[in-house]
Structure 1
Amino acid sequence: MASKVQVAKLATLTGHRDSVYTLVPAGEEHLFFSAAGDGMVVAWDLTAPENGELVARVSASVYALHHVPQRNLLLIGQNQEGVQVIDLASKSILKSVPLPKVAIFDIKAVPEEGRVYVGLGSGGVAVLDLETFELQTIIRKTDKSARTLAYNKYSHELAVGYSDHKIRIFDAQSMELKYELASHTNSVFSVAFSPDGKLLLSAGRDAHLRVWNAGKNYTEKGYVIAHMYAINHITYSPSGDYFATCSMDKSIKVWDAHTFKLLKVIDKVRHGGHGTSVNKLFWSAHQNQLVSCSDDRTISVWDINF
């Protein structure tokens, strides 16, 4: 059966001098930020993708970024140093939040809770006040890294995937542990709630994509062996009808979010995809473009046409 999904590569963005680890949306749908092992944080515009703009440079690798559109702030996870809060209008450092000297794997600012959650290499989840960026607490249930965070605005729950192979679900306000999900056989690298908050998707080093019923005490709905090697990231399409996964196997896969059927594989041979591990995705509402970044130091922009 021929796939009904058409994929075309629109642009290859270069300039980073090391593996590109993360991509995050900016305030408008055509804008996004990238960060890499070179410590450079770059702003990009999908309407003129070839011109990246350096917004910050830190002394360590950056795995985690988060944009706070309400205040036009960019939060940068500076490994071994803490979180830097950048005022994008003036390009100045508003605040540096010292944290334990470990890697920072994920950052989520949640205006509904008035908080910022930070996943740490020590296994801790640091909770900052979103107004002042003061550290409120660090919740630690394991000494293995907290790799990935997802927030469910319907249930006010925070899902955290860890390198001890577990996913823990916390009450986002009290940070009380509600559920512990133990089906993965290796580190969990990505968790994502469906846009309606009813499902949680998880994936990681075991190459399994797992589906959990968030509305029914996180009972497992099933799984699929989705890639050959570790799955680094899961992201939903703006419509919520599709999601994409990317992997250490160098490929990106597009899935039907309702049937979990594989619709398209984007790779080097067929589409001029990445030559090494694909680390992160950003699916923009700007003309439904999918953006990927890789250890090959490039960022690719894809036109996905259903």
Structure 2
Amino acid sequence: MHIQKIDTFGGHRDCVYTLEGGTNPNEFFSAGGDGLVVRWRLDRPDQGELVANMPASVYALARHAGSGLLWVGQNYEGLHLIDTAQKQEVRSLKLTSAAIFDIKFYKNDAFVALGDGVVVVIDTEQMAVRKHLKASGQSARCIAINPVERDLAVGYSDNSIRIFDLASYELKHVIPAHANSVFTLAYSPHFRFLLSAGRDAHLKIWDVEQQYALHQDVVAHLFAINHLAFNPDGTLFATASMDKSVKIWDAETFRLLKVVDRARHAGHGTSINKLLWTTYQQQLLSASDDRTVSVWQVSLP
């Protein structure tokens, strides 16, 4: 496997916490501690474009496929829906005084993970709160959706993963998953496994068909794992860590294939917070506390 750093996008004035794909494969958005929501184009790396300016940190971005609107989770305030073409806010919803850590969509539902342990279910057509899922007193940090089994997986700062029914919102399973906060969740492309990682630096694979029994436990990084993401064809996934490295893994065997770090690849010098694996030439993006977004070309022999 060959990894090459293609570019670095700079311009944020604080840590970059989140990334989201755009309407076009060569477009993506970034946001972070400075409240700036910026549109970038992978074919024109020098032309970052401000689309919104939030008065507080942004940890969560999500593009709603149906409307094309970019949902921005502003800390301690609520949701802001941005028409990125017009660079205008078209709707807002004051949800909470807690941090917003993740936003995911399924059919007409939006699921929003909050720092007070609540997952808010929002009707995306009516923009009305449908349900509050309160299963923990500690932060809901990350969400993953399995439409095959109709499962909603939520990772919490109480070290657990909870599985809810996507239709009834009933709690189905509680998994005592990690030794510390769960920061990231993702279902494998065929929805056979749920992958989780977090502050304890372990990558864990759970067998969905076996009632989420532990399939594998990998000591994957030196420090907290902040995010994991699959490539577009589902053959690889990457993990990003506070240890300043990105690691590339085989999605079938869960074997480590490559370590991307500062010493070997001119990688980030501080914590890496978010990954986005694009369909644009299979380029992998990484966002960091160093205020930049790096672009990586991942090539298999």
Partner of 1:134: 128
Which amino acid counterpart does residue 15 of structure 1 have in structure 2?
Answer: G
CA offsets, 1:200-243, max 9 Å, x none?
00000000000001122111101100000000001001110110
State which drifts further: 24-33 or 75-84: 24-33
| In 2: Cα distance, 1:106 partner to 1:198 partner | 23
Partner of 1:190: 184
Partner of 2:158: 164
CA offsets, 1:68-127, max 9 Å, x none?
13211000000000111112232221211111201000011222xx10000000000001
Secondary structure (helix, strand or coil) at the match of 1:201 reads: strand
TM-superposed CA distance for 1:28, in Å, is 2.3
Q: Is the 8 A contact 1:234 1:244 kept in 2?
A: yes
CA offsets, 1:115-143, max 9 Å, x none?
00000000000010011221112111111
Partner of 1:56: 52
Which amino acid counterpart does residue 110 of structure 1 have in structure 2?
Answer: Y
Q: Is the 8 A contact 1:72 1:89 kept in 2?
A: no
Which amino acid counterpart does residue 208 of structure 1 have in structure 2?
Answer: H
Structure 1 alignment gaps of length 5 or more: none
CA offsets, 1:23-52, max 9 Å, x none?
111222221111010000011111112211
| Aligned residue pair count | 300
**What's the % identity of the aligned pairs?**
51
Partner of 1:82: 78
Matches within 5 A, 1:254-293: 254-293=248-287
| In 1: Cα distance, 2:250 partner to 2:11 partner | 33
Q: 1:174 aligns with which of 141, 152, 168?
A: 168
Which amino acid counterpart does residue 258 of structure 1 have in structure 2?
Answer: E
| In 2: Cα distance, 1:76 partner to 1:30 partner | 20
| In 1: Cα distance, 2:29 partner to 2:208 partner | 30
Under a length normalisation based on structure 2, what TM-score does the superposition of the two structures give? 0.98
Partner of 2:93: 97
Q: 1:67 aligns with which of 59, 63, 67?
A: 63
Q: Is the 8 A contact 2:51 2:88 kept in 1?
A: no
Q: Does 1:226 align with 2:220?
A: yes
Q: Is the 8 A contact 1:292 1:301 kept in 2?
A: yes
| In 1: Cα distance, 2:45 partner to 2:209 partner | 40
Secondary structure (helix, strand or coil) at the match of 2:137 reads: coil
Partner of 1:236: 230
Secondary structure (helix, strand or coil) at the match of 1:50 reads: strand
Q: 1:12 aligns with which of 4, 8, 15?
A: 8
Say what the alpha-carbon RMSD is for the aligned residues.
0.9
Partner of 2:19: 23
Which amino acid counterpart does residue 264 of structure 2 have in structure 1?
Answer: R
Partner of 2:28: 32
Partner of 2:209: 215
| In 1: Cα distance, 2:10 partner to 2:184 partner | 25
Which amino acid counterpart does residue 86 of structure 2 have in structure 1?
Answer: S
Secondary structure (helix, strand or coil) at the match of 1:269 reads: helix
Q: Does 1:43 align with 2:53?
A: no
| In 1: Cα distance, 2:38 partner to 2:212 partner | 37
Q: Does 1:202 align with 2:196?
A: yes
Q: Is the 8 A contact 1:40 1:56 kept in 2?
A: yes
Secondary structure (helix, strand or coil) at the match of 1:291 reads: strand
Which amino acid counterpart does residue 107 of structure 1 have in structure 2?
Answer: I
| In 1: Cα distance, 2:24 partner to 2:173 partner | 35
| In 2: Cα distance, 1:25 partner to 1:214 partner | 27
Secondary structure (helix, strand or coil) at the match of 2:47 reads: coil
Q: Is the 8 A contact 1:23 1:33 kept in 2?
A: yes
